[in-house]
């Protein structure tokens, strides 16, 4: 955010100044584009400020490992085919399936939340229902 507020704003201000120097603003496409970029830039800053204002720090050492919660790492087994997977439940902005991080809003995470080791979570997906047995919960 610091970069966006300092260098990012300065670059956009320079682009606007350069476009303004090119003459009539009513027919200046560069000026219009620079002003639009400025609006998008300010929207990005506002979104980051909102995220930071609503952020909460979570002490991972105090997480309850007896049930699946946000930030839990869960090892599960698909009851139908026996495949085992490990996922960490994270916020939507942190989700990265390749890294094994799924959003707490995803159907699989929604089915796992609140369950304990040994429980079977039934997850509704477009193709029907999947059953996952919870094998392990960790941080």
Say if residue 110 is in the same domain as residue 80: yes
Say if residue 24 is in the same domain as residue 69: no
Q: Is the pLDDT of residue 36 over 90?
A: yes
CATH code (residue 7): 1.10.287.180
Domain region containing 31: 2-54
pLDDT band at 139 (very low <50, low <70, confident <90, very high): confident
pTM above 0.75? no
Q: Is the pLDDT of residue 112 over 80?
A: yes
Higher pLDDT among residues 26 and 136, named by residue:
136
Angle between helices 29-54 and 9-20 in degrees, nearest 10 = 160
Give the chain's domain count.
2
Higher pLDDT among residues 1 and 132, named by residue:
132
CATH code (residue 97): 3.10.50.30
Alpha carbon distance 15, 32 (integer Å): 11
Say if residue 70 is in the same domain as residue 6: no
pLDDT band at 119 (very low <50, low <70, confident <90, very high): very high
The mean per-residue pLDDT over the stretch 114-123 comes to: 93
Question: 130 - beta bridge partners?
Answer: 123
Chain centroid to Cα 63, Å, comes to 21
Q: What percent of the chain has pLDDT over 90?
A: 59
Say if residue 9 is in the same domain as residue 74: no
């Amino acid at each position: 955010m610091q970069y966006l507020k300092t260098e990012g704003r300065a670059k956009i201000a320079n682009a606007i100044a350069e476009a303004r120097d090119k003459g009539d603003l009513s027919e200046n496409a560069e000026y219009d584009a620079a002003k639009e970029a400025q609006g998008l830039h300010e929207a990005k800053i506002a979104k980051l400020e909102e995220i930071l204002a609503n952020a909460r720090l979570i002490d991972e050492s105090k997480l309850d490992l007896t049930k699946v919660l946000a930030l839990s790492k869960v090892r599960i087994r698909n009851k139908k085919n026996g495949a085992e997977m490990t996922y960490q439940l994270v916020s939507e902005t942190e989700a990265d399936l390749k890294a094994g991080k799924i959003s707490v809003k995803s159907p699989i995470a929604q089915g796992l939340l609140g369950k304990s080791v040994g429980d079977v979570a039934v997850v509704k997906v477009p193709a029907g229902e999947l059953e996952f047995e919870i094998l392990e919960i960790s941080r």
